[in-house]
Chain A
Amino acid sequence: MDASRRDFLKIATVGGTAAAVFGFDLKPAFAELRTLKIGRASETRSTCPYCAVGCGTIIYTIGDRAKNVTAQVVHVEGDPDHPTNRGTLCPKGSSLQQEIMNDRRLLKPQVRRPGGTDWQDISWDDAINEIAARVKKTRDDTFVEKDAAGHTVNRLESVAFIGGCTDTNEFNYLVVKAMRALGVVHLENQARV
């Protein structure tokens, strides 16, 4: 078609008017969707704290770690790159967000004194100092240098160490070093990480 400038303007005006009058609506072509709530959230890899399987998780937090944002957890799901679970999680693991975002979650150390019925808050420094003092006292009182046959053993049988499931190899290396230095023989751990 050979249309002059005038023809083009005519056609455009008539066509535009027709579209406006008779309706040309693309709205029904798409529906309103919920947006992906983790679309631009930050991903942090972590380990599920529950059982010994040690599934890898991804913690999604709001914001892009910019200075002025306080990150908050919006979602937790399995880490597809983790060899243990490859993205899957059990029902307890799937509910991890509720464990993190929970009013009843303990966020500071507490102590229940001998004979006491309730828990009292204690600072980290006080807690660690008190534990150190008790370990020292227990060790001084019960350290075994020689067994019944007279062999030198240098062991501490009255203290045990129990590790958690999220303890890494590196952490456990340090645990063994520290505990063996005290003479602790009872080391237990459920970590498979």
Chain B
Amino acid sequence: MSQATLRIQKISGHAGTVPGEDTQREFTVCKLVDTTTCIGCKACEVACVEWNDMPFSQTTFDNTYQTMPDTRWNYWNLILFNEHEREDGTLQWLMRKHQCMHCAEPGCLEACPADGAIVQYTNGVVDFQQDHCIGCGYCVTGCPFNIPKFNSVTKRMYKCSLCTDRVSQGLEPACIKSCPTGCLHFGSKDDMKFLAEKRAKQLREHFGYENAGVYDPPGVGGTGVIYVLHDATKPELYGGLPSNPTIPLAVKFWKHPLKWLGNIALVGGLIGLFAHYLRFGPKAHDEPDVASKEGD
């Protein structure tokens, strides 16, 4: 028996209902990342590797402070450093904590064909279950943030689990706890949205960032990680944060209309076959029975 305490509300590739769905009251958890107070110290990166006991891998120096170009299967949390030149020629150094966004409508879960390989708990956390994963990589296609990463040895996909082991026991995720400047916050989605809006208002009114705002994209139903940005109209500046992320059309088409059409074609074919049998009976052989008996 598993010691799990988080109840599931969505299951990938699952035929039928989700038992116990909507039977319990639980709030949605959320990480708030205030990019305006991030100093790029990477304590969250280290805390993540440390807590999850992930093996060390070589870092890449690319003339920035960024640890490596992209997240890896064993590196779920990465600060992206971006030097942005403003119109007046001054430089703005933008840092963003890049990790799984824990979308309310997760593209990875939508795209996943394996039953139970990706689940969403009632507290909103999207989690990969490696023992059900078949390593097909469809989740990469479904994810608008390019998060799931493949381990070629175990042939499984990995990503940030939002420290389910900690969160299910009432603790905050490891990255949140470590952050020395307090630019990371953790709590209920409502509380985090309130805090984020408050901070954005402060930035607009007192710091001269007229376009400061909160990044909580509706295209994926809102995310379990929300950002406060200096310029919410240009999220792309922060290491390619998509301004309107959605589940790719191909995935939606593949998982819905095409699936139904396929089912209709299959069942229709069988019905047609049966109808044909009723109407015309079994196939009549042209050769007389005697001929086959002669061959015996």
Query: Hey, which bits of chain A sit against chain B, CB under 8 A?
Result: 25-26, 28-37, 39, 75-78, 85, 87-91, 93-95, 97-98
Contact = CB atoms under 8 A, between A and B. Distances in A.
B: contact size bracket: 35 or more
A33 B171 contact: no
B43 A26 contact: no
Given A36-B165, A77-B47, A95-B50, A31 B178 contact: no
Report, nearest first, the 5 A-B pairs whose CB atoms are least far apart. Answer: A94-B46, A29-B20, A30-B4, A34-B165, A29-B19
B165 A26 contact: no
Of B50, B165, B171, most buried by chain A (CB within 10 Å of CB) is B50
B7 A30 contact: yes
Given A29-B20, A90-B41, 18 more contacts: A26-B19, A28-B18, A29-B7, A29-B8, A31-B119, A31-B129, A32-B129, A35-B165, A36-B165, A37-B165, A77-B47, A88-B180, A89-B47, A89-B178, A90-B43, A94-B46, A94-B47, A95-B50
A75 B179 contact: no
B5 A94 contact: no
B248 interface: no
B116 interface: yes
Contacts of B47: 77, 89, 94
B41 A33 contact: no
Contact of A34 (B20, B43, B121, B164): B164
A85 B180 CA distance: 7
Given A33-B5, A34-B165, A28 B41 contact: no
A4 B178 CA distance: 63
B27 interface: no
A28 B8 contact: yes
B195 interface: no
A153 to B, nearest CB: 45
14 contacts: A26-B20, A29-B7, A29-B20, A33-B6, A34-B165, A35-B3, A35-B165, A36-B169, A75-B51, A77-B174, A88-B178, A89-B43, A94-B178, A95-B46
Given A26-B20, A77-B174, A91-B46, A33 B164 contact: yes
Contact of B3 (A33, A89, A97, A98): A33
Given A26-B20, A89-B180, A91-B41, A33 B50 contact: no
B19 A25 contact: yes
A33 B8 CA distance: 11
Interface string B8-28: 100100100011100000000
